[in-house]
Amino acid sequence: MELLALIQQQIERDRRRGFRIDFTTDDERLDQLMRDLVGIFGEVGEFANLLKKVDLARRTPGYNAPSLDEARSALREELADAALYLFRLATVLGGDLEQAILEKIHFNDQRYRSLEQ
């Protein structure tokens, strides 16, 4: 499935659930962007917190936390949560995230060409 199709599916679900996606003023749009930004940071924070515990367990004998293998599923879930917020942010801004990613990949290909081996 293409990224654009995933985004469209999630945004349709958000609409059905009553989460605002469409706005009439920039103030409304900015307010939603701020809320979704807090949301994405929260999910990235949950990812970071779990990864911190995994690392502590690896470095600290007796520290009770999951191994990386045990935490993989939960870590992927937090990344998926963050991705859904990213989809919302892109939609609220009115852009094509898939195209923006492709353009950024091309830009980075040029920027980091000298590093390729």
DSSP code at position 114: G
DSSP output for 8-56: HHHHHHHHHTT-----SSHHHHHHHHHHHHHHHHHHHHHHHHHHHHHHH
CA-to-CA separations, 46 to 59, 61, 106, in angstroms, rounded: 20, 23, 31
CATH of domain 3-115: 1.10.287.1080
Quick one: average pLDDT of 73-101? 95
Residue 21: predicted pLDDT: 93
Residue 6: predicted pLDDT: 94
Residue 95: predicted pLDDT: 83
1 pLDDT more than 80: no
CA-to-CA separations, 76 to 40, 42, 48, 86, in angstroms, rounded: 14, 15, 12, 15
